[in-house]
A and B are shown apart, each in its own frame.
Chain A
């Protein structure tokens, strides 16, 4: 367990040590604040623009954060860092779990940071945000976990560029698979409740719990698949 935490915290320190992460977070929060100036251009619908931009930027931040894993693992494998790590009494599955945990922490931290900034700006501009808005943001933060597991799968056997591209496509499609009737193996649209939050429809806490459970199950299933492939790989 200690090894898993060591790998996770190493990824956490490395990614959050990059100053540009905070700069981009500040840019995202500034963009959200700017939408409040679109009152006339939107014919009074600037609240909608603020909520939708906020949700979009939090989701985009989640996507970009997890995609950074597609560069991290292949790079470690190519440079031999992973081989050194795996030479120690550390299983390949532990390595993958460590990476998944690390990127999930980073993703949840960054999306959480932007979400808090968004909620502060919203409360200054439009009054106290409703519970539904907070729950919708929590759901986006949770979506980091299944997204990270998808990236983990592709980055375990593909090179950086290909893994990043395919992961982006897989995440993008993950939100649209609900359109294919009956397809419920993997669906990221369960974390998209932005419209419901904006229109004030009630999102129960049980719904959020179910979505969190689905996030964990998606991560576990992808992790099993990744581990199966990764263990077969000749490093």
Chain B
């Protein structure tokens, strides 16, 4: 063998050896960058998987548009077609969302299966909408699917909603749905329980849990939502008022209402009879006409107007009493 051939063989061996190492290292990098690569079909399609997923998506939309009514047959076709698109592009969010909505009425199990698949992808695992949609589908089954075990479906929905609430950017309105369904779960387990009281107890439990756990309420990445927002407060206050009106004799409801009024509603004044909020200067409740303890008015009997705080009344200049607690603050 000539000298040049030996050199070529040596260079070949060296290049192949180095290349194998480099490709292995690149494969590891690719896995670290995007773990969804492992989920892509092994079908030899050069590098055109994602492009083909787009083409199939367009055909899928046309097929959906041609369906008047979902049946077992076309639901199965839709499900298989959606899966084949996701084999090509596991991160394709719209496929999960639109297919699940399309399949939810006739074949909710298919819809949830697709959503669960999406929840396992790197691209969508933190997308609260996929969990919420799965929860909604299971929840909706408790109304429309008479054969289904109601409690099982409720518990499934709770699981999905709970996961959704731990994801970044989740809409606070989902908390209300979560609490309502938690109360439903308790009601299913004990039919003697009042649903409103159960809901209030769940709110109390949830707020305490949220305050203690870092898992909940990520408003945005790294931003904790520990305080109770105004919408939630308004929901809870409405609930307290309804309990007072509809089941005033329920001791659990009464105690939970008192507990919450002293904690999250400590900064507002509510009527002792109907729990409707009243404002500074009000002498009677605008809802039930019962007298309320007036606050925020000038102590000078001749003035008696509502002041805006501070050390002196802005109407007559009378010095205002500052509470010890406020002084300390």
Contact = CB atoms under 8 A, between A and B. Distances in A.
Interface of A: 38, 41-45, 48-49, 52-53, 55-56, 59, 63, 171-173, 175-176, 178-179, 184-196, 198-199, 201-204, 207, 210-211, 213-214, 217-218, 220-221, 224-225, 227-228, 231
Interface stretch (B21-29, B197-205, B233-241, B268-276): B21-29
B185 interface: no
Contacts of B58: 38, 41-42
Interface of B: 5, 8-9, 11-12, 15-16, 18-20, 22-27, 29-30, 33-34, 36-37, 42-51, 53-54, 57-58, 61, 89, 91-92, 94, 98, 123
A141 B28 CA distance: 22
B91 A199 contact: yes
Nearest to A91: B4
Given A43-B98, A203-B33, A217-B22, A59 B12 contact: no
15 contacts: A49-B54, A52-B54, A53-B51, A56-B48, A63-B46, A176-B44, A179-B44, A184-B19, A190-B30, A194-B50, A198-B50, A210-B22, A210-B25, A210-B26, A220-B15
A221 B15 contact: yes
Q: What does DSSP make chain B's interface, helix, strand, loop or mixed?
A: helix
B26 A211 contact: yes
Contacts of B57: 42, 45
Question: Which of B24, B29, B47, B50 has most A Cβ within 10 Å?
Answer: B47
Contacts of A203: 33
Nearest to B33: A201
- Nearest first, the 10 closest Cβ-Cβ pairs linking A and B are A176-B44, A179-B42, A192-B47, A224-B12, A217-B19, A221-B15, A184-B23, A52-B51, A56-B51, A220-B15
